[in-house]
């Protein structure tokens, strides 16, 4: 029976909830409500920007609808990225994390409100999302494959509260691979770019372990084999990429030369890579599937033999099939060249693990115990969302490139070189709290001249700073003799550009806030 005023239609529902708001509210309700209102305003602006509408506030969250699943997911990614940036600049006690669920389905409209199974499913998907994460139904996933550059983990059929049937769900990551299905359901994501928990990775190409989630314990040997990886399904592209040995990321120049026979090999063939630079291939197989399987198995066997602690992101991925690159991940985000300025800070700044910013104690211990023993040129790089990486190669340019590619792949943003061998190559602020790594994406709507100034800023090796005004004007200072001079010059340039309420946003390669 149809009731007057009720209309049934297909739409996309996004459910947003705040994690731990009740605990924060119990400490200071008025302050918590003010923070919540500010965060919901941010979410609302992204929803509006992507042509959605909020149809219900839910206490510490909201429900929104979108005509397009693609726009809904874009809004969700933008909201979580905005939350990470806001949390980075906030005091620890003022940080709020969101969970987001999305579903495509049939709803009943009653006035401005929407009700029905599709809404209930979106809410339940939100409840199983990780803090800072996004969980979507298979109906959403099917609509975004090939349209958005992001990663997805198939978590299989989920039995959720008050929904009689199981819901096939995917967890999304904002940066990284194109969406892909997993051949076997796994209990955790291989990399959650939207997670608020800090991710710290430390590795060498041969023996050093990696830490996923800050200060996680590092066992002496692998306690359990990682689940067998499944090749990523390639995202549709305008034109296939032709395989070229020189383009293989993460691996050394010497190893690339050893892989050159792959290009000349005939018949069915495939190549698999991992983020540490291990590469294996299979040629002259009876069919494409066999080539893929053999290459993946060989690569993963190498990883388990060589890597001290295997993490989810260590699993190998199919890079090429035949002479076409099918790797579904984006090209690793890299800073502009030169990756390291020619002049180093003077007097030299020694590498002291205890003084490296944005690291957990587990990472520092590896820098103390393992880093000094590595041979060749050693490089430490640091990236957005508390991701860092270190590696070594026979020559400095190789070590720098590989470390930046690995870090950029994991963080989705350009990383920067912190130290080469035992010398720090950037200045570190002392008068500000370091919140994260500054990246060009932190500044939007720049004019061409401002964009060029930011590009130059990224490769400077001296004291430098960026000031940003409330009205969007910026001031950039490079080549200064001290931190104070850089800060004062950036603020002055910001005001000269017509900025109102200018404040320092970055010092050196760091996103900062006042102590």
Taking residues 120-139, report their average pLDDT: 90
pLDDT digits (tens, 9 = 90+) for 467-485: 998 888 899 999 899 999 9
| Domain match, 315 and 456 both | no
pLDDT digits (tens, 9 = 90+) for 188-237: 222 222 222 222 223 333 222 222 222 222 222 212 222 333 333 333 44
110-118 own/partner pairs: CB under 8 Å, 24+ apart: 110/5, 110/6, 111/5, 112/55, 113/55, 113/56, 114/11, 114/13, 114/55, 114/56, 114/63, 114/65, 117/163, 118/11, 118/13
**Structural domain of 159:** 6-173
Q: What is the spatial distance between Cα 137 and Cα 202, in angstroms, rounded to a whole number? A: 34
Dihedral sign for Cα 178, 184, 185, 189, please. negative
Q: What is the spatial distance between Cα 249 and Cα 275, in angstroms, rounded to a whole number? A: 8
The residue that leads in pLDDT, 190 or 20, is 20
142 occurs within a structural domain: yes
Is residue 269 within 8 Å of 169, Cβ to Cβ? no
pLDDT digits (tens, 9 = 90+) for 500-514: 889 999 999 999 987
Q: What is the spatial distance between Cα 34 and Cα 385, in angstroms, rounded to a whole number? A: 26
Predicted confidence at residue 423, as pLDDT, reads 94
| Domain match, 149 and 265 both | no
Backbone angles phi, psi at 99, to 5 degrees: -115, 140
| CATH classification at residue 30 | 3.30.70.1230
Number of Cβ within a 10 Å radius of residue 34: 12
Q: What is the spatial distance between Cα 338 and Cα 187, in angstroms, rounded to a whole number? A: 41
Q: Report the DSSP pairing between strands 432-437 and 474-480.
A: unpaired
Domain boundary among 325, 340, 366: 325
| Domain match, 439 and 302 both | no
360 occurs within a structural domain: no
| Token output for 235 | 């995202």
422 occurs within a structural domain: no
The residue that leads in pLDDT, 147 or 100, is 100
| Domain match, 167 and 245 both | no
Cα–Cα separations (whole angstroms), residue 72 to 15, 64, 67, 129, 488: 11, 9, 8, 16, 42
Where do we find the tokens 């720090």? 424
The H-or-E segment that residue 47 falls in is helix 29-49
Mean pLDDT across the chain: 80
Instruction: Give Cα 350 to chain centroid, integer Å.
Output: 29
| Domain match, 34 and 114 both | yes
Helix H segments across 51-116? 69-89
Q: What is the spatial distance between Cα 490 and Cα 367, in angstroms, rounded to a whole number? A: 34
Q: What is the spatial distance between Cα 113 and Cα 123, in angstroms, rounded to a whole number? A: 15
| Domain match, 13 and 127 both | yes
41 occurs within a structural domain: yes
Predicted confidence at residue 227, as pLDDT, reads 30
pLDDT digits (tens, 9 = 90+) for 288-308: 989 999 999 999 999 999 887
Q: How many domains does the chain have?
A: 3
């Amino acid at each position: 029976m149809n009731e007057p005023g009720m209309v049934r239609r297909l739409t996309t529902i996004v459910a947003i909830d705040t994690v731990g708001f009740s605990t924060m509210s119990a400490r200071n309700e008025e302050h918590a409500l003010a923070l919540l209102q500010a965060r919901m305003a941010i979410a609302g602006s992204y929803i509006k920007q992507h042509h959605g509408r909020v149809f219900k506030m839910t206490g510490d969250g909201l429900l929104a609808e979108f005509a397009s699943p693609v726009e809904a997911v874009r809004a969700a990614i933008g909201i979580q990225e905005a939350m990470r940036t806001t949390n980075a600049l906030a005091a620890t006690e003022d940080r709020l994390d969101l969970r987001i669920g999305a579903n495509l389905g049939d709803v009943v409209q009653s006035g401005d409100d929407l009700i029905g199974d599709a809404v209930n499913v979106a809410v339940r998907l939100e409840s199983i999302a990780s803090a800072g994460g996004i969980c979507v139904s298979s109906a959403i996933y099917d609509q975004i494959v090939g349209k958005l550059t992001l990663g997805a983990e198939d978590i299989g059929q989920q039995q959720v509260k008050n929904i009689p049937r199981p819901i096939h769900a995917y967890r999304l990551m904002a940066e990284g691979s194109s969406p892909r299905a997993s051949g076997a359901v796994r209990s955790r994501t291989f990399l959650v770019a939207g997670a608020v928990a800090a991710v710290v990775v430390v590795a060498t190409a041969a023996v050093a372990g990696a830490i996923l989630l800050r200060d996680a314990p590092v066992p002496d040997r692998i306690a359990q084999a990682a689940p067998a990886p499944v090749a990523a399904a390639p995202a549709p592209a305008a034109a296939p990429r032709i395989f070229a040995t020189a383009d293989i990321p993460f691996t050394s120049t010497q190893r690339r030369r050893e892989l050159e026979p792959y290009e000349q090999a005939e018949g069915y063939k495939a190549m698999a890579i991992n983020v540490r630079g291990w590469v294996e291939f299979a040629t002259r197989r009876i069919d494409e599937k066999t080539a893929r399987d053999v290459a993946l198995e060989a690569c993963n066997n190498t990883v388990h033999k060589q890597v001290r602690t295997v993490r989810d992101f260590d699993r190998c991925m199919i890079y090429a099939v035949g002479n076409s690159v099918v790797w579904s991940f984006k090209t690793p985000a890299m800073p502009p060249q030169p990756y390291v300025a020619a002049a180093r800070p003077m007097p030299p700044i020694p590498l002291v693990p205890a003084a490296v910013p944005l690291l957990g104690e587990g990472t520092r211990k590896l820098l103390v115990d393992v880093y000094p023993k590595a041979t060749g040129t050693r490089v430490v790089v640091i990236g957005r969302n508390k991701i860092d990486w270190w590696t070594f190669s026979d020559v400095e340019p190789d070590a720098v490139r590989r470390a930046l590619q690995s870090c950029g792949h994991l963080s989705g943003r350009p990383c920067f070189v912190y130290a080469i061998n035992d010398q720090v190559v950037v200045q570190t602020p002392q008068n500000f709290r370091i919140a994260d790594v500054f990246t060009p994406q932190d500044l939007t709507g720049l004019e061409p001249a401002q964009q060029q100034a930011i590009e130059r800023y990224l490769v400077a090796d001296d004291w430098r700073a960026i000031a940003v005004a409330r009205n969007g004007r910026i001031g950039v200072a490079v080549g200064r003799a001290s931190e104070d001079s850089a800060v004062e010059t950036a603020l002055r340039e910001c005001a000269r550009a017509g900025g109102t309420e200018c404040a320092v946003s970055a010092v050196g390669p760091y996103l900062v806030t006042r102590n």
